[in-house]
Amino acid sequence: MKHICIIGNSAAAISAVEAIRERDKDSRITMISDEEYPAYCRCLISYLLAGDISEGKLALRPQDFYTQNKIDLVLGKKVVKLDPKKQRLTLADNEKIEFDIALIATGARADFPDIKGINKEGVSGFRTIKDAKDCLTWAQFAKVASVLGGGLIGLKAAYALRKKGLDVKVIVKSKHVLSQVLDETGAAIVQRHLEHHGIDVLPDQDVAEIIGNGQVKAVKLGSGKVIGSPIVIVGKGVKPNIELVKESDIKTEFGIITDEYLKTNVDGIFAAGDVAQCFDLVRGAAYINALWPNAIEQGKIAGANICGEKKAYAGSLAMNSVEFFGLPIISIGLKKTEPGFEALEFIDKRNSIYKKFIIKENVLKGFIAIGKINNSGVILKLIRDSIDISSIKQDLVSDSFSYARIIDLVGKDEIYTNIPAY
């Protein structure tokens, strides 16, 4: 009976363990996580902070999930080393765990830039339940909060703190918010909407220092301007948690390199989720699209292949869907044209409606929709399957465009794939 060790206890790990138990009821499974909580939906922590949902609503599986699936769950322990040769894990307290097969589903963590004062009390990433609960406590005593970074996670934190009634400053190094998700036109619409709801966006700004004696008091910008702020949220991107394999032969770049079976270059070692660098359907190269549905799908496939199957993963896509103060935003694939690409656009600034299609050789490579997001599932299908759109191209931006227009291209049984709400 083999011993399968899963490092991580979130989207990728849970879907992998379910895929394994569907096929193998007997093998011993140990799941190890350095968080103190059973698996929860990380995507919803901002709603906990906003007071929209209670902590119990974050739970990903019922309380008896681990016993029902005969899983030895180890919480609050960090794996510091994975030794493929010895088939052994070393935990931070030096405990050793032997394994036959290992799945690395360690995800990613908030990336903290090297700024003076970044370690002060009151400064936090926004990745875990603990981060959200810390912010909840601090928000009781604060009137102002600063968010470093205008990406999806930073803006989700800003939105939640604004809903708590705080004055929120979003300090963005790039020229506009959501620079990884939208183009300039789309970002300007979103920024105007956020400002209309009381969030101050400060683009093109650098943070020189975080000021305070132990506890943060203010943020000093590169311009010299000082913003009084007892809360600072760091939303400057994420870093895959790959340190545990650094001393091994497992290939890494930004993340852990996997093949289409989510296998690493070392036998018996798999990787899935935000830590895994695997094929991107639009870029046509290994890339990390750190998103929940990608982690779930990769976990499922890794789980099946851990049980000896040869299930291939088609590849991941950058697909984001989020809503701020009633304004829905979707972006899939590329957001900017490159040489040899063309773009079709529709914009209605007064009503905050924007649509953009990015096309290369009659294949959709990217899509942005703001304000009106109908048919996005259809567009996702066209992008994911690289369908030739030459016969429908001119209809894409029209309001009357719908699934009916592409039935001949995709067939009837492929109706509406969901886009994950960010």
Ligand X SMILES: Cc1cc2nc3c(=O)[nH]c(=O)nc-3n(C[C@H](O)[C@H](O)[C@H](O)COP(=O)(O)OP(=O)(O)OC[C@H]3O[C@@H](n4cnc5c(N)ncnc54)[C@H](O)[C@@H]3O)c2cc1C
Question: Binding of ligand X at residue 150 (CB under 6 A)?
Answer: no
Residues in the interface with ligand X (CB under 6 A) total: 37
User: What CA–CA distances, in Å, run from 399 to 132, 170, 187, 326, 375?
Assistant: 40, 34, 22, 20, 10
Q: Are 402 and 375 in contact (CB under 8 A)?
A: yes
Q: Considering only residues 360 through 399, tell me which ones interact with ligand X, judged by CB under 6 A.
A: none
Choose one: 26-34, 217-225, 333-341, 407-415; the region binding ligand X (CB under 6 A): 26-34
Instruction: Check if 43 is active-site.
Output: yes
Beta pairing, strands 226-228 & 71-75: unpaired
Distances (CA, A) of 289 to 276, 281, 344: 9, 10, 25
With respect to ligand X, which residue has the nearer C-beta, 107 or 366? 107
Pick the binder of ligand X from 6, 8, 162, 178 (CB under 6 A): 8
Quote the radius of gyration of the chain (alpha carbons, Å): 22
Question: Is 250 a residue that touches ligand X (CB under 6 A)?
Answer: no
For ligand X, which residue of 4, 5, 7, 301 counts as binding (CB under 6 A)?
7
Dihedral of alpha carbons 121, 122, 127, 131, sign = positive
Q: Using CB under 6 A, which of the segments 41-49, 176-184, 211-219, 307-315 binds ligand X?
A: 41-49
* The pair of three-digit structure tokens given for residue 311, joined into one six-digit string: 């299930």
Asked if 32 interacts with ligand X (CB under 6 A), we say yes
Closest CA to 211 of 298, 122, 148: 122
Closer residue to ligand X (CB): 228 or 328: 328
Q: Which of 43, 135, 278, 307 is catalytic?
A: 43
CA 153 – CA 135 distance, rounded (Å): 14
Shortest reach from residue 134's CB to ligand X, in Å: 13
Residue type at position 310: K
Nearest-angstrom CA–CA distance, 93 and 26: 29
Note whether 420 binds ligand X by CB under 6 A: yes
Closest separation between CB of residue 101 and ligand X, Å?
17
Q: Contact region for ligand X (CB under 6 A) — 27-35, 60-68, 199-207, 343-351?
A: 27-35
Residue-wise burial string across 374-412, b where 16 or more C-beta atoms lie within 10 A, e elsewhere: ebbbbbbbbbbeeeebeebeeebeeeebebebbeebeee
Query: Taking the alpha carbons of 65, 67, 68, 71 in that order, is the dihedral positive or negative?
Result: positive
- Binding of ligand X at residue 101 (CB under 6 A)? no
Pairing of strands 199-202, 167-171: parallel
Distance of CA 295 to the CA centre of its chain: 9
- Which residue of 282, 291, 327, 396 would you call a contact of ligand X, by CB under 6 A? 291
Nearer to ligand X, 8 or 212 (CB): 8
Q: Is 106 in the site for ligand X (CB under 6 A)?
A: yes
Residues 64-83 that bind ligand X (CB under 6 A): 78-79
> Is 278 a binder of ligand X (CB under 6 A)?
no
Stretch of residues binding ligand X (CB under 6 A), selected from 140-148, 200-208, 223-231, 414-422: 414-422
Maximum pairwise Cα distance, the chain: 66
| Binds ligand X (CB under 6 A): choice among 292, 313, 357, 401 | 292
For residue 9, the minimal CB distance to ligand X (Å) is 5
Nearer to ligand X, 17 or 382 (CB): 17
Check residue 70 and give left, alpha or beta (phi > 0: left; psi -120 to 50: alpha): left
Residues 170-189 that bind ligand X (CB under 6 A): none
Q: Shortest gap between Cβ of 127 and ligand X (angstroms)?
A: 5
Nearer to ligand X, 314 or 421 (CB): 421
CB-CB contact of 144 with 133 (8 Å): no
* CB of 5 vs ligand X, minimal distance in Å: 11
Query: Which of the residues are catalytic?
Result: 43
In the complex, the residues that contact ligand X under the rule CB under 6 A are 7-13, 32-35, 42-43, 45-46, 78-79, 105-108, 126-127, 153, 156, 241, 244, 273-274, 290-293, 295, 420-422
